[in-house]
Amino acid sequence: MKLLTLTTDIGSADYLIGGIKGQLIQLVPNLQIVDISHHLPSFNYPHAAYIGKNTLRNFPSGSFHLFLVNLFDSPTARILLVEQNGHFIFCGDNGLITMMLEETPQKVIAIDTSKTPQQNVLSYVSIFGGIMQKLFEGGTIEDHGELITDYQVRNPLKPSFGDNWIEGQIIYIDHFENVVVNITKPDFETQRQGRSFTIIFQRNEHIDRISNHYADVSEGQKLAFFNAAGYLEIAINKGNASGLFGLRNFTDNPFHTDRLFYQTVRIFFE
């Protein structure tokens, strides 16, 4: 099966996503395209990395993944093709790949775009599609360039730890405005060591138990649970945690206009 996931920050208000798919289908016959999201916030790498990481873990080996996210954020005229555990990933040379994988990529080649007549998304998609078809025909990524190690690196956001606490950052807010924190269940259990705990967010808001699902609390009540991706999530049963508590996701863009104070969550153990 020729399977490609498509993740972008382009939005869906105009023709561009359709144009991308049209080009890919022309270049790779019988390609099955799976839309992940086209509404990733610009310049928010932690958000994009969370989406990317959980896309990769849910698709079979042999899948292709096209991440058109902050594609022109790098001054270098090149794009990357990465092979990782049987997956093939196309993305910009902007540091997203190391944040997504949370480890050193196994194989990376740089595709020079300096001679591409037009530096735009569709011209890059044309390059991606041509290479993808050749890989489906049995080629290797080394056929398209030399392996490199000088790609841009961004370190994934990790929680901070103390003897009696963990502090995590808000990395994602979903459609229901539930808040995802970069604290995983293994992080939590390793640090907890069977102790009682209090999750603190905002000035006076706290939660002292982990729920299994929304029905564990009454309508309008706050709760914390570990989501399907294994990350701590804060929500309100039939409510809006982000809006009510003034929580916003972490962004490394200093010019972002929607930054509020509450971007961290701390868990105390006793």
What tens digit of pLDDT does each residue of 203-235 get?
678 999 999 988 899 999 999 999 999 999 999
DSSP reduced 3-state for 25: helix
The pairs formed by 15-18 with CB atoms below 8 angstroms and a separation of 24 or more are 16/121, 16/122
Residue 152 domain flag: no
DSSP reduced 3-state for 52: helix
CATH code (residue 193): 2.40.30.90
CA pair distance 41, 98, nearest whole angstrom? 19
CA pair distance 169, 262, nearest whole angstrom? 9
Q: Is 230 left (phi over 0), alpha (psi -120 to 50) or beta?
A: left
Whether 228 and 244 have beta carbons less than 8 Å apart is answered as: no
DSSP reduced 3-state for 148: coil
Fill in the amino acid letter for 187. D
Residue 167 domain flag: yes
Structure tokens at 211: 């729920």
Structure tokens at 36: 């992940």
Q: What are phi and psi of 192, to 5 degrees?
A: -70, -50
Residue 109 domain flag: yes
Cα dist. 84→18, 28, 63, 90, 104 in Å? 28, 21, 10, 11, 9
- 165 shares its domain with 259: yes
Whether 4 and 109 have beta carbons less than 8 Å apart is answered as: no
Residues 86-99: tens digit of each pLDDT = 999 999 999 999 99
pLDDT band at 250 (very low <50, low <70, confident <90, very high): low
Degrees, nearest 5: CA angle 63-110-57? 25
- 85 shares its domain with 200: no
Residue 151 domain flag: no
Residue 132 domain flag: yes
- Model confidence at 246: pLDDT above 80: no
Residues 69-81: tens digit of each pLDDT = 998 877 667 899 9
Residue 178 domain flag: yes
- Of the candidates 126, 245, 111, 234, the residue with the CA atom closest to the CA atom of residue 178: 234
Q: What domain count does the chain have?
A: 2
Percent share of the chain, pLDDT over 90: 73
Residue 26 domain flag: yes
- Of the candidates 3, 73, 69, the residue with the CA atom closest to the CA atom of residue 39: 69
CATH code (residue 32): 3.40.50.10790
The pLDDT of residue 76: 67
Structure tokens at 174: 């979903």
| pTM (2 d.p.) | 0.88
Residues 30-65: tens digit of each pLDDT = 999 999 999 998 889 999 999 999 999 999 999 999
- Of the candidates 186, 18, 9, the residue with the CA atom closest to the CA atom of residue 96: 9
- 20 shares its domain with 101: yes
β-strand partners of 79:
92, 111
Q: Which domain holds residue 129?
A: 2-144
Kindly calculate the radius of gyration of the chain based on its CA atoms and give it in whole angstroms. Answer: 20
